[in-house]
Amino acid sequence: MKIRESSLPVGWYPRDRAEISRFLSGFPEGKGFAAIAPHAGWYYSGKIAAEAVSSLDKNVQTVAIIGGHLPAGYPPLYAFEDAVSTPFGNAAIDTELRTAIMRITGGNEDRYRDNTVEVLVPMVRFFIPDAKLLWMRLPAQMSSFEAGKAIAAAAKDLGRSVAVLGSTDLTHYGPNYDFTPKGTGPAALRWVTEINDRRFIEAVESGDPSAALERAEKDSSSCSAGAVLGAIGFATASGLGSARLLEYDTSAAVSLPKIPDDFVGYAAFAF
C-alpha cells in the first residue's frame, strides 16, 4: 500500500490526537453534503475551517477534498496513493471513485507539497472518521465547475454517498503579497472585509460559478477559485442549493487591536 505522508511543518496543524480533539471539540453535528473551508494554519483559520467541515454529514462514505493553488491552464491533480497518513491513522483513498472521475476530467498525479488539502485532512478524519478520502486540486477556470459535476455523476454511478469540501483562502493583503490598493491600517482592513471579500462571498452565495471566478480574478479575492467552482458544480449537480456563509474573519484577528500590514481573509460556507 502506498501512503501519502504529511509534507507540511508541524506548525500548520497539531500532530497530537488529544490536542486535535481539544481543538475541534464542541462543534455541532451537520447534515450537509458540500462546504467550503479556508486552508491556512490552524492558529489562524482552524476554527473557521472546522465550522465548514463539521457541517458535513457524518455518515457519508467518501469526502472529496478539493484544493487549489492552480492557475488556469493546469490539469486537475489527484493523489495517486492508496491512503493518506493522519494523526488518527491512515485514511484510505477512494481509488474507485478517483478512477471514475478521472475518466471524465482527465488529470495528473499531484506530486507537489501544498497545504490546500493537507490541512483539512485531519479535520475530516476527526469529524467523519469512517469516510474514505479523495484528494484532488482544480485550476482556476470554468472547467472546474464541470469537474465538480463529474464528482456527482461518478458518485451516483457507483452508488456512493459523497460529500465535497472545497478549499480556499480569500484576499491576501499587504506588502508581502504585493497587494496594497488601500495602503495599510484600519482603512485597508475595512476595505478587505467590507468590500473585496464581501464581493467574492456574495458571488459564491449566488451559486454562479462565472461570477465567483470573475470576482476572484478581478479582485484577487480567492487563491483557489478552482476549488470553489468544483464545490459549486457538485452542489449544483446534486441539487443542494446555494451556499450560505457560516463564518468570516481575517488573520488580523489574532493581532488586534494592532492591525498587521499583511493579513488574509477566511470564510466558511455550507450548501
Q: 130-141: per-residue pLDDT in tens?
A: 999 999 999 999
The answer to whether residue 182 sits within a structural domain is: no
Per the structure, the count of domains in the chain is 1
pLDDT at res. 215: 98
The answer to whether residue 202 sits within a structural domain is: no
Distance CA 93, CA 96 (A): 9
The answer to whether residue 149 sits within a structural domain is: yes
Q: 82-106: per-residue pLDDT in tens?
A: 999 999 999 999 999 999 999 999 9
CB atoms under 10 Å from CB of 162, counted, come to 24
The answer to whether residue 63 sits within a structural domain is: yes
pLDDT at res. 130: 96
The answer to whether residue 211 sits within a structural domain is: no
How large is the average pLDDT for residues 20-41? 96
- pTM of the predicted protein model: 0.96
Distance CA 164, CA 65 (A): 6
User: Nine-digit cell at 134?
Assistant: 479523495
CB 13, CB 120: distance < 8 Å? no
Task: Give the lowest-confidence range in 10-14, 198-202, 245-249.
Answer: 10-14
Cβ burial 77-102 (10 Å sphere, 16+ → b, else e): bbbbbebbebbeeebebbbebbebbb
pLDDT at res. 96: 98
CATH value at residue 161: 3.40.830.10
The answer to whether residue 190 sits within a structural domain is: no
Distance CA 126, CA 124 (A): 5
Q: 158-205: per-residue pLDDT in tens?
A: 999 999 999 999 999 999 999 999 999 999 999 999 999 999 999 999
The answer to whether residue 5 sits within a structural domain is: no
The answer to whether residue 186 sits within a structural domain is: no
Which residues are within 8 A (CB) of 182 and not within 5 positions of it... i.e. 6 or more apart? 188, 191, 192
pLDDT at res. 61: 98
| Residue-number span of the structural domain to which 98 is assigned | 30-170+223-251+265-270
- Give me the half-sphere count of Cα atoms (radius 13 Å) on the Cβ side of residue 126: 27
